[in-house]
Structure formats: C-alpha cells, structure tokens
Amino acid sequence: MEKRRSAPPVDAFEQVCVSKGEDDEMEIVFYRTSKVKLVVVWIAIFLSLFFIRLIFYWRRDWYAKSVASRCSPNAHADWVILKDKSMQQFAHRIHTRILSDSLKHGKNRRKSISRIDVESKSDPTPEYSIQTFFFHQRLKYILNTKRSCFEKTSVPPLTLSSLLTSKGLTLAEQHSRRWLFGENSIRVHVTPIIILLVTQALNPFYVFQLFSILLWTAGESYYYYAGCIGLLTIVSLAAQIIQQRMMERALKKTIGVNNSCFVWRSDLNEWREVAAETLVPGDVIQIPEAVDCNIPCDLILTSGDCIMNESMLTGESVPVTKVALEASESDVIFDLTQHSRHVLFSGTSVIQQRRTAGDDVVKGVVYRTGFSTSKGELVRSILFPKPIDFKFTNDSYKYVGFLATMALVGMVYTIVVKQLNGDAAEDIVIRTLDLVTIVVPPALPAAMTCGIVFAQFRLRRSRIFCISPNTINVCGSLDAFCFDKTGTLTEDGLDLLAIRQAAPDGTFEENLDLSAGSKHGEAGHLKAENNNNNNHHHHHHHLLHRDVLEAMATCHSLALINGTINGDPLDLKMFQFTNWDFEETNVKGQVQGQGPALAPIVVRPKPSTNPRDSNPPSSVREIGILRQFTFSSKLQRMSVVTHRRASRRAEDLTLFTKGSPEMVASFCRPQTVPDNYESVLNSYTSQGFRVIALAMKELSGEATTDALARVRNLTRDECECDLTFLGFLVMENRLKAETIPVIHQLKIANIRTIMVTGDNMLTALSVARTCGMLTLVDRVIIASVSVSSSDRPSEIFWCPVEMPNAATNLNSFETNGDVEKNRLEFVDSRVSFAVTGRSWALLRQHFPQFLPRIVLRGTVFARFSPDQKKQLVEELQSLGYYVGMCGDGANDCGALKTAHAGISLSEAEASVASPFTSKQPNVSCVLSLIREGRASLVTSFGIFKYMAGYSMTQFLIVCIITWPVVGSTMSDFQFLYEDLFVVTTLVFTFCFTGPHSSIAPRPPMISLVAMAPVTSLLCCMSLNLGVMLFSWYYTQAQPWYEEPDTRDGRDSDDTNVNYDQTVLFLITCTQFITMATIFAKGSPYRANIFSNIFFLINLLICTSATVIMIFNKWPWWAWLLELKMPPTFAFEGIVIGVCCIHFFVSYLVEMYFVDVLVERWVQPCLSRLVFKERVKYKLVEREMETSPDWPPLADKSLAEVMEMELAATSADDGDGAKKQTALHEDAQQSPRDVIVNGHRSDGIENPAFEITPADECDVAMTIDDVSMTIDETAYDSASNQEQSLLERDDDDDDHIDDVRTDL
C-alpha cells in the first residue's frame, strides 16, 4: 500500500475566521473544557439554586467561557465560539464522528480535536475516516485537514465542460457524499406545545414575571394583583405559542415536501427513482415534465430549456427562461452569479420545459442541497433574522440599565429605612425585592411591541405585507431612498414609438414614427389567439427591412404557456408589433402539425389578404429559433440563432442580437455603424426613451440535423462578433402616475431620492429630471473613469451634462404633454453626480477616496448590476444614512435585503426577497411605509417614556410611604387599579393613533439618551415629585390629620390605611393620566390625539373614576381600595386644583420647553459646539462646502465621455474570456479544497464533483476505502443522528446535552 504523507504541522493552524470574504464571515475562537472550571461552575450552579444555569441558558457563550479555557485548535478543543458582524456570539460543540462506527453501528460519537486526530505518530487503522465538524444556523462546518481550517460544506470549482460531460454517480459514491453533505432537506419542524411552553416560559421576561408573582403571593399577600398579572401572563404566553405554531406551520407549508425524482446511476446505467432527500451534489437528475413541479435542490441545467416561476425567491411574477450550459472549448470556471441563467434554484417551479433535439429528457446536475441552496438561505434568513442595529433599540437597553441602577439604590434605601424602623429580616428581604418589580415594570416588553403591532395591522390594510415587524420602527428614521427605474418609477408596459433603421451606406434612414397608434400593452402576457391587436401597425411592415422585422419576431425569450404568450414586457411589445404567429414543439419534440422539429420555437407571419402587402402568401417565410443566448444583466444583450424556411428549402443560419446600444455596437463591424450613431442615440435617450439596438450575422451552413449539433456547440463568443448593425427600437417607458407626487413628497421631507437602474445613463437622467429627482437648476456631472493601460494610469473625468429643460419633439412624435407642468422646481442648485456601473467598479478599485463624495451627491446610478446596487446601499449605510430600497424584486434582491428597509413591488402577499412587499404596483407604498414607520417610532418613544415615568413615579411614592414617619405601603387593589385599570388600558389605546397625513421635513428622534428625552423625563419626574411632596406636607398641616400608626400593630388590617398613603395614591393616579396625555403627541408624525376615539374615551373614564374617588362619591370604592378619605370638601377641591395645575404646567413644559427650546435649539447647538459630529455624511458635506471648486470639470464633451464608456465596455467584454481562462489556470495551480481537499478538474474520467481524499495523512476522509462497503440502513441511522444533532446544536439550546456531557 502506498505510504501516506504526513499532515502539515498543527502549529500552523491559526484560523481566525470562517467564511472569509462572504456575507456571513465570522471570527472563530477555540476553547477546551477544564475539569477544574467545570466543577467550580457546577458548584456555583447548585448553590444558586440553578439561577446561574438559567443565565447560561440565555447566554450559552458565557457557559462555554466559564467551563473552558481558550486554546489553539489542535489542543483538544471541544468548543468553538463565533462572533458575527453584528457582534453576536454563538457557542457550539465540536463533534468528531468516525465513519465506520457511524455506518456500521449508527452511533454518533463525540470527541475533541486532539493532536492524534490531526497528526498521529502512530498509524491508526486505515479503515477509519474521521469527520470533525460543528453546526451553525443549520449549516455544517467541517474540518479541512488539507487547509487545516473549518469550511462550509460546498462543491469544488467546476468547469463547464466537466458539467456537460458528467455521467452521474454510482450508488456507493452517492452514499459517501450523502454522509458528507447530509440530507437534502429543509426541515422546519412544528415544535410540540410542551417544548414551546418550556422554551417561552424561560424567556427572561416571563421568568421575571414569575418571580414577581411568587414574591407578591408569598410575602406581600397581593393575591388579587398577582392573580391578574398571572392571568395576563398566561394569555400572553398562550398567544405567543399560538403565533409561533402558526408561523412554523405556515413556513413548513410554504417550504413544501420534496417528492421523488429520477436519478441516473452510472454503475447501473439506468434511471432510478429515489427520494429527493437523498440527492447529493454531483447527481444527474431528470427535470419532471409535470406543470408547477418544485425543484428540490439547486441544479445546473445541462440539456433542454425550462421556463421557471421564481416568484417565491424574487417576488417577480414574470416567468424566467433557463437554458442549458453552453458548450465551450475553453475551460471556463462555473460561477453561480455569472451563469445563473443555467441554474434552476430550489423552491422555484417548472412552468414548461423543452427538450434539446436528440435528447430524451431534460436533465441537470445537482449543485447544492439542503440549507446550502438558495431556498435554504432564504429559510435561514427567516429562522435567524439579522439583528437590527437601531439606536432606539440600543438606547432602550441603556434605559433599562438605568432603571435597574435606580432599583439598586432603592433597595439600599429600603434596607436602611426598614432596619432603622426595626422590621423583621424576612420583611426587609421581601420589601427590598418588591421594589425591583416596581422600578423595572414587567409589562415593559409587551408595551413596547404594541405600537409595532398596530402599525403592521394598518400596513396590511394598505396592502403592504411585512415579514420583519421590528423593521417598521427603522422605517421612521429613513433619510435616503433608492429606487429602481423600470417597473418601479416607470410603467412595466412599453410603447413602441419609433424604429430607426440603418441604411447600407452607413447612415440612418428617416425615423419610422409609430406613435400614432401607440397604446400601453399589458405588462405580463398577451393571448396567442388575440395577438393581432396591432393590426393598425401592419401598414408599417412594408417600410421595414426584412432583417429588422425578423429580428423583432425572433430575438426574444417568449414562451407559450397554456395558450398565452408570456415573457418580458419589452419582448411582448416587440413581438406584438410584428403580427406574427408563435408556435412551440409539443412534448414529443415535434412542431404541431409538422414532422420532426429542427427548432423548438417557430414563428411565421400571418397570412395577409391585403393586395398591397409586400409579402404575399406564396412567399410566406417560416423562421425557427434553434438556439437562445438568454439575456444577462451583466452582458446587457441576448442573441438567437435562427433559420429561414420557405417551401421547405433550408437557407443559411442567421444570428440576431438585441441589447443595450453601447454593448451591441461594440460587437458590430465599424463600417455598419452609422457615423451619427452617438448623436442619434443621445437625442433619444436624453428625452427618457428606452432604446434597444438590433444586429445580425449570417452564419455558414444549412439548417440540417447535423448543423443543429454544431449550433448547440457554438459559444457565445464565436457567434456575437462581426455583427451587422440594423438599427434602433425606440420605446417609451412612461412614468407611473404616482411617481412625481411621491418624489415631490420625499423631497419636501428632506429624504434623499436616488435612482439606481440597469438602463442607459441618459435615459435615467431624463427620467430623473422628469420625476423631480433632479431639479432644473441642478448641475449634473457624470463621473467617468478611464481604464488603465501599460502606458497610462486610470483617470477620472468630471463631465457636466446640459439637460433639456423640456421634452422636445422627436421627428413626428412627442412625449407626455403633462410633464412640463408637473415638473418640480426646487431652489437647491448643488452638484449632482451620475455614475455608470463600469465607472463605479473602477472608482472602487482606483479612486476609493472619492466614493464618499460621489455617494453623498450622487442621484443617478445607471447600468448598475445587481451586485453594484447592493454595494451602493452599503456605501450609503457606511456614511450614516438609514437607507430604504424600492424595486420590483427581480434584479434588486440583494439591495432589498441589504437596505434598512426594502420594499418589493410584487403580487405575492409576502416575499422573502425583502422585509416588505407591496401589492400596490407603484411607489406610493413608500409614503405609507415612512408615515407608518414614523408613527410607530414616535409611539414606541412615547410608550417607553410613559412606562419609564410610570415606574419612577411609583418608585417615588413607595419610597415616600416607606419612610418611617409613614411606615406604610400600597394595598393590593391600589396596585391593581394603577397598573391594570389606568396604565395598561392607556398604553393599549395609546397605540391606536394612526400616522399623520403628510411627512414632516425632520425625521423623529431616534435616541432615547439625547438631551431632549432625558430633559423631558427629568422635568416630568421633578414636577411629579414636587406635587407629591407638596400634597404630603399640605395634608399633614390639616387640622383633621392623624399620624400613621407606626407601632408594632403592623399586621392589623388597617395598617396601610392613612391619609398620607391615600393622598399620594390619588395624586399619582392623576399623574399617570397626565403623562399619558402629554406623551401622546400628534403632529407632525402622528394624527391628532382627537382622532383616537378609543384613547379619548379611555382618558375620560380614567379621569372620571379618579375624580369620583377624590370626592369620595363611592364609599364602597374607597373601602375596596383601602383608602382613608379626607373629611372636608375644600381639601378635595384643592387636590383637584393641584392636579389641574400640574397637568397644564406639565403640558407647557413638554410642548414648548422640551419640544421647541431644547430639541430644536439647545440640543443642535450643543451638538455643534460641544460634541463632535458623529454622522459621517455630515462631515463629508462640510468638507465639500469648504471646497466649492471641486470637482475640476473636464474639457471633454458628453459625446466623448459616452464614446469612452462605449470603448471601455467593449474592451471589458472582450477580455472576459481571457479572465475566465486565467481564473481556471489559477484554480489548476492552487485548487480550492472543498470540505476535504477538492479535486483538480482535469484528467478525471467523471470530473464533475469528483472528491478525492483530503490529504494523504492517516485521518483523511478516504471515501474510496468505505464507498463499496456502506450499508444503506446503517447510513440512514447515522443520517438521522446527524439531523438530530443539527437541529439540537443549531438552536443554541443544547443545554441538556451540555449537562450530560459535562457530568
């Protein structure tokens, strides 16, 4: 047997992070359990009556740090602690499993990483393969012994040729990889009620409430109050359990159940039906022919075409066409982002499939399984949402800490007073602990969520659905909003306005005006049998060149689904104009009514009875679409290979291409591009029209069956070169009716509006000018970066743009006449930057110092890819903006998820593409979201201040009546009246107030520790304390006043009944009503208080009940509350007068002193003079104000800049193949190890997903040693053990297992 090479020295193992460079990058630290620490910790746990263990339940990382010591990974580490970008820490056990034991005995052995595991001087039994791993958020991280680090289980780098030639896996290989990758399942279990009950009951909030109830019943005899609080706790707990169960069931229903599928077994040379859960990367499976069947994993399409519904992932309702991998002579590395058009994602459904000629089935290669798939990632984002770093939330914790400090001071005060008073030790302990439940109100968390719940309900009524309720408050602080253009600001439907054809002599022909009959087409589909809607355009056909008409009829990705032509709105409008018929092959691969099909799609002109038609029926052509190179946002173009058929004679093959003018022109022969190309293009795009360029190329060879095989092997680079330019299609993408008013409102509210689109720069600038993002006096500067070369470094040019003030006529057609009168004029004349995606990439690479300024003043970002949209949002966030994003959900998913608040325009009720989904297909939902967010934030702000004021007020009264002179305490029903009848009802109805009808220019405050809210609470508490002390001393000065009984008769029934306690109780009741009124602010963020009828009625009832008590009109009420009422009517009137004065003074202080003087004047001045500016974008703004001459304008014209962009785009695209080849060469020189030593893709008989041993050390995962001896039943047992371990370890709740292991 060949001698194995020893592993690398373990001292070199210095991993500091996992998933480096990815979104889920985390720091990693290793720990080893210490027996001494373990014994000490468990002694402390027993002595604390398991209270410390409860704390460790909440913070598992604390437990790991307490029982273990930090160590290097090789030093018997058995714990790992991860810290993510949000500074959250997670502790997980490290597991080690021996393959032979797992498979033969179904056991899951846990061991630590020891030196013998990594490098053993002795020679362990070779048949053992060891797998060392841990789980985090349902993903498996495994030790790669070759790289000596933990990595997520993933697949090695693959070439397109290796995927196309993949023969599938043998049964033994499938079992080995199943052991490695785990089950292909996304399990969301419906948790049993008993487990949910225990889990929820151990929440700190409920633990604190349980502690309070036990304290009240044990020592305070507050039976009624404790019973009511206990009942509310049970109701709240039951509601949360029901909600959790409903969410789990809904999520499980959404995920669905994977059924069986057919897998090719290379050793059996046949298709076998297997359960979808057993799929592993490398399997070759059939795509089911059933309509709406779900894809069980992420797989790469290797033959045939599929039309997919990806609405679950993107929210986009337009079907997406997926095509098979393209044959390539060069070994291009498969990239998921670049080759996404070839990938069927898990969770999407197949609408229709088309087989490739010569293939019996549509098939693909499994790429990712389980929670590693796109669907799994989205489910994980729901199960483990990213924490919201919101200042209001962070400050609320600081306030709770301050209240806890107050409780500590109060405890010391109570102990001293009770000790001086000679009270028993038992009474001192109970009174001291009781003070904690007063200062830190148990109902605070529930009260804080009320505003969010009601805001979510109102949003739902506005047809805006939310899957992340905590994000609603963040929407109230948004100060920048990004918009996609097409489908968001503008209509989905396009109007074909003009066709500008290129003449053979290198010029443009006269503009062919089509605007006379232009109407909006339906955005998503048109009926095949009714596609003669555009007969009024038919008289233009004789003016079109044959190639232009055929390009419009064939260069698209439309599909016939249930008799309806579906596809992109642009393609629909273009094909609708041609008035041709559309046919597809049936499931047997034949054209309907014809013999064997050479093309899966056939289009032909309708027979015409018009004698003037230049195409009489005898010469009707029929065109078959043999091959599609689908549209890509990165490539900005699509192409089709077609053949013409007339009287069944085969003609030459033809390639038609359409796409962005810059991209298409770069592939055309220069002599075919008109000299005035740039000026004609700019004349269209500067007025906001969408321009599509057409081109063609005659390919050699006839459309025979042999030629079809050659067509399938053609690469895109071979076809899309030396094209002949045909002309422009000019389309109008009209603004939606709601766009201009919404942008106007946002500008008034001082919320930045930014357009980020994949469309042409001048088109985007025109739309931005029309909708009001750019004003008529704004100076627009395009930042363009030149590409560096060997003799010249990259340069940045600042080119000013002169935009037309009004939409001018374009030959014979005009734009919307209402644009000019609706155009918004603002006085702001600052510089506004516009950047293309190509320049953005070069700016990030060569000029990062300019990015903050460009992002600060940037308004239009054109030709941006989906990744670049996400980068823009991240740059805005890095400057300190709270960023919102509105898009249609297709190419905007990354930006929608990255933004603080993303809203997707979708027909689905809820889309996992963004926190919010609007069924209103326009941007008016943005105003609703911001208004509700501001109302919810102000409501939460008011409720927090009210609850803090309530707890501190009750703390003050308890401290006063606990004073030895009084020696009393509040009765059970007094607490019940204040906490339930007054405070709880007022908090509940407080949240009924809706948002204000308009958006104020200033966003609401988000900091609870700023000067204004702190001053508000201090003033409120000072007034409350002053009124309490005045009432107390004034009561003692009355002739009828009787001293409280402070003798040893404390246990008698009338111990708590005295004048001091009664007066202070009545005063605090009115103070709670006063605080609720002054904190329930209306304008400018919430509706007027009088619009909240329920709150007004509640105030009236509470006030009336309190006034009746003061005047002692209900003696039985005083008896029930244990009150000793003053005997004179005059004193009662004075109490009412004091309460009224307190109300008016509190109102004036809050509304004018705090809101006007402190918040608007004092606080901003102190921020500028004393405190340093913390918001980065304001610092950048000040820097730019001190540099009025920046940027230095270039002497280049706009045409020169656009020409430079075009040349750079062509150069970038031309280098694409070289970059891919270089990437593959790098991968060959230093192959990326996947899990255990990934493979080289060259020289392997079945190269796709080939996994060789990780290393030649003794503990490498030698799959070959075990692959032929695996018992499937034993494997299932091991698989179930691993799945159980995943679910337990992943939720950070593996505490029972911790106890068992430690003991």
Residues assigned a catalytic role: 484
Distance CA 253, CA 245 (A): 12
Distance CA 351, CA 45 (A): 59
Query: Among candidates 175, 338, 363, 176, which has minimal Cα distance to 264?
Result: 363
Distance CA 337, CA 795 (A): 29
Query: Among candidates 777, 795, 657, which has minimal Cα distance to 729?
Result: 657
3-class DSSP assignment, residue 97:
strand
Query: Among candidates 585, 571, 607, 926, which has minimal Cα distance to 744?
Result: 926
Strands (E), 252-360: 260-265, 270-275, 284-286, 293-294, 298-303, 305-309, 320-322, 343-344, 349-354
Distance CA 94, CA 137 (A): 14
Give the relative orientation of helices 1295-1302 and 60-67 as an angle to the nearest 10 degrees. 10
Sign of CA dihedral 619, 624, 630, 635: negative
Residue in the block written with tokens 């940045």: 796
722-to-203, 675, 699, 702, 1209 alpha-carbon distances in Å: 68, 17, 11, 20, 16
Residues in the chain: 1303
Sign of CA dihedral 353, 358, 361, 367: negative
One-letter amino acid identity for 1103? T
Distance CA 741, CA 57 (A): 52
Strand 480-483, strand 752-756: pairing: parallel
Distance CA 725, CA 665 (A): 7
* Token digits of residue 1211: 């150069």
Residues 6+ apart with CB under 8 A from 162: 1241, 1244, 1247, 1248
- Number of helices (H), then strands (E), in the chain: 44, 41
Residues 6+ apart with CB under 8 A from 1116: none
Strands (E), 310-348: 320-322, 343-344
Query: Among candidates 380, 299, 389, which has minimal Cα distance to 340?
Result: 299
Degrees (nearest 5) of the Cα angle 79, 84, 89?
45
* Token digits of residue 35: 């027996």
Within the chain, what is the greatest distance between any pair of CA atoms?
A: 121
* Token digits of residue 373: 């798939």
* DSSP state, residue 278: G
One-letter amino acid identity for 724? T
Order across the sheet with 525-527: list the strands: 525-527, 564-566, 559-561
* DSSP state, residue 672: G
Query: Among candidates 1246, 1251, 1273, 1271, which has minimal Cα distance to 1261?
Result: 1251
Distance CA 437, CA 417 (A): 19
- Given a contact cutoff of 8 angstroms between Cβ atoms, the answer to whether 579 and 534 are in contact is yes
- Given a contact cutoff of 8 angstroms between Cβ atoms, the answer to whether 624 and 590 are in contact is no
* Token digits of residue 171: 């049964």
Distance CA 571, CA 692 (A): 11
* DSSP state, residue 1215: T
Residue in the block written with tokens 């000679």: 422
